[in-house]
Homo-oligomer: A and B are copies of this chain.
Amino acid sequence: MADVISPIPQRIVEAAVLAALEEDGAFDDVTTRALVPADQWGRGTFIAKELGMIAGLQVAAAAMSTLDSQISFDALVEDGTRVEAGTEIAEVEGPLGSILSAERVALNFLQRLSGIATLTDEFVHAVSGTGARILDTRKTTPGLRHLERYAVRAGGGQNHRFGLGSGLLIKDNHIRAARDRGAPDLETIIARARDASAHTMRVEIEVTNLEEVKEALAGRADVILLDNMPIDEMRRAVELIAGRALVEASGGVTLDSVRDIAETGVDYISVGRLTHSAPALDISLEVATV
């Protein structure tokens, strides 16, 4: 699977890595400057310390090479690979001081992205065989959306719209606002939204009960988002929609609840915690002089 993960544009990786190195003072590492001479060479191995899925090797590599272009980086596994504790996942070699100065930033990215991939992978496995796809949300870490969406892809998930400008999603508050301005039903609201937006976008609308599902179908919504609906009602909604629109479910989805949701027949399940609450995967860099 790893071979089909669409990569992060290298420019975005480099910008993120450079900002992080500067934030960390990596170009002004007083300890390393005091103790590691420029001509001392070293080698390091990134090792997974627990079971999980790897994502972000491209970013770790960029952290090293941006700090010092003399550092070489060799990935020993591919992103999207499930590894056990103790697996060696990449090797670096170059000026030892530079490796030490870049280490923390490389690990900060690699651990976070691998944490997201690992959690996504768990959700994807939890729904396997159901036809439901796991989606991320806009609940990403500010500044890291491109990277975290990549980690979700690495974990086998699929990306929702990038942001507010790249997809039309009518949520409860939009509906409330429109009703307040005289829109009698979702059909009217969908028509209004469609009329005001690019013809290349689908219209997705959030509903909370079966009555709204009917209105959304009347408005020929392209995607219907069932938000925080009980499992039974969700199942009836799927039956009611009957393929006339794509169906997405959302709302506090956990590893405990995701399988039940998937079995209602929804097409997509969006999971905020993939990005807002994934714990980092424990990875370390073991360094030796050469």
B-binding residues in A (CB < 8 A): 6-7, 9, 11-12, 16, 19-20, 23-38, 40, 42, 96-97, 100-101, 103-105, 107-109, 111-112, 115, 135, 138-145, 158-171, 173-174, 176-178, 180-181, 189, 192-193, 195-202, 204, 222-223, 246, 248, 267-268, 273, 276-277, 279-280, 287-289
Q: Which residues of B contact A107 (CB under 8 A)?
A: 139
Whether the pair A163, B276 counts as a contact (CB closer than 8 A) is no
Majority DSSP secondary structure for residues of A touching B:
mixed
Selected from B40, B161, B195, B197, the residue in CB contact (under 8 A) with A180 is B40
Q: Which residues of B contact A174 (CB under 8 A)?
A: 31-32, 35-36, 100
- Copies of the protein in its oligomer: 6
Q: Which residues of B contact A30 (CB under 8 A)?
A: 164-165, 167-168, 197-198, 201
Q: Which residues of B contact A276 (CB under 8 A)?
A: 108, 111-112, 279-280
Shortest CB distance A191–B (Å)? 10
Q: Which residues of B contact A268 (CB under 8 A)?
A: 199
**Complex alpha-carbon distance, A9 and B101, angstroms:** 12
* Minimum-distance CB pairs A-B, first 4: A25-B163, A25-B165, A167-B200, A20-B142
Q: Which residues of B contact A96 (CB under 8 A)?
A: 173, 177
Knowing A16-B143, A142-B20, A169-B31 touch, does A202 contact B222 (C-beta < 8 A)?
Answer: yes
Q: Which residue in chain B gives the minimum CB-CB distance to A193?
A: B34
Shortest CB distance A168–B (Å)? 5
Selected from B141, B180, B267, B287, the residue in CB contact (under 8 A) with A112 is B141
Whether the pair A173, B248 counts as a contact (CB closer than 8 A) is no
**Complex alpha-carbon distance, A178 and B142, angstroms:** 36
**Complex alpha-carbon distance, A31 and B162, angstroms:** 14
Whether the pair B24, A11 counts as a contact (CB closer than 8 A) is no
Q: Which residues of B contact A164 (CB under 8 A)?
A: 24-26, 28-32, 101, 104
Knowing A164-B26, A192-B35 touch, does A173 contact B280 (C-beta < 8 A)?
Answer: no
Q: Which residues of B contact A167 (CB under 8 A)?
A: 30, 198, 200-201
Q: Which residue in chain B gives the minimum CB-CB distance to A28?
A: B165
Selected from B28, B139, B288, the residue in CB contact (under 8 A) with A104 is B139
Selected from B135, B142, B248, the residue in CB contact (under 8 A) with A144 is B142
